[in-house]
Amino acid sequence: MCLILFAYDTHPHLRLVLAANRDEYYRRPTAPADFWPDCPHILAGRDLAHYGTWMGVTRSGRLAAITNYRAPSTLKTNAPSRGRLVSDFLAGDTPPDAYLRQIASMADQYNGFNLIIGDPEDLFYYSNQSRNIMQLSPGVYGLSNHLLDTPWPKVAKGKQRLRQLLSDGTPPVPEPFFHLMRDQTVPPDAQLPDTGVGLPLERLLGSVFIKSPGYGTRNTTLLFWEKHDRLDFYEQTWETASAAPQPGELRHFRLDICGQS
């Protein structure tokens, strides 16, 4: 994932509202969100190059999502796939904080990442760049390709709009959140970060929704997790051949969280 916006325990009816865009090369093979044949309790899309995932949930309420940390000067060519950090958590039953302690002990093997994981009781954040395991308190958060809540323009704008969408306390519907996540507005150059990729690429990556000939937003995922443990999972794929966001397949799953691994 390259942008995750989420409100944790701030809504009168929902424990979690999450909207996320996955940005990836169009040529990378991907399976759409579904329950996995080899792990039927996991609901997630799947990276068919390394068989991990960028985000998923389980029937017991385990949740995990990852973004890359953009630092091209430190890339390791033989690093393991970061998507397995997500799928391994979803497939197991290790408590989130214990899992992150395990990951922290071998974090140097991986290229830069940000990991959000949780269960029906708690939600955590960890990056192998900051090295701090953070238990999240109620609030609105944004994560792109730097640390949690780094105020990049699309993160700050996304958090503000997420607050607006949730401000009246009514049960949310998907379309306004999909609209938020397909915003192609590019911030002024002076507001863009300098991550070492050059200004033209910073412009390309600066919008919420990314579109280019070979790379861009492949899908948007929404999670609406009710406090009585019903979870709605939406995945909207996007056509890669069009110049503007054009919807492909929309998938919707409703889970009753059982609270057991």
The pLDDT of residue 181 is 98
In this predicted structure, the answer to whether residue 261 has a pLDDT above a threshold of 50 is: no
* Model confidence pLDDT, tens digit, residues 108-163: 999 999 999 999 999 999 999 999 999 999 999 999 999 999 999 999 999 999 99
Q: How far apart are CA 225 and CA 13, in angstroms?
A: 9
The pLDDT of residue 241 is 78
In CATH, what number is assigned to the domain containing residue 217?
3.60.60.10
**Confidence class for position 242, pLDDT limits 50, 70, 90:** confident
* Model confidence pLDDT, tens digit, residues 196-226: 999 999 999 999 999 999 999 999 999 999 9
Question: What pTM was computed for the model?
Answer: 0.96
In this predicted structure, the answer to whether residue 74 has a pLDDT above a threshold of 90 is: yes
Structural domain includes residue 80: yes
Owner of token pair 């412009």:
203
Residue pair 61/15 in contact (Cβ under 8 Å)? The answer is no
CB neighbours of residue 97 within 10 Å = 15
Which range marks the domain in which residue 194 is found? 3-256
Structural domain includes residue 261: no
Percentage of the chain exceeding pLDDT 90? 94
The pLDDT of residue 153 is 98
Measure the CA angle with vertex 99, ends 95 and 101; round to 5°: 125
**Confidence class for position 259, pLDDT limits 50, 70, 90:** low
* Model confidence pLDDT, tens digit, residues 171-196: 999 999 999 999 999 999 999 999 99
For the chain, the domain total comes to 1
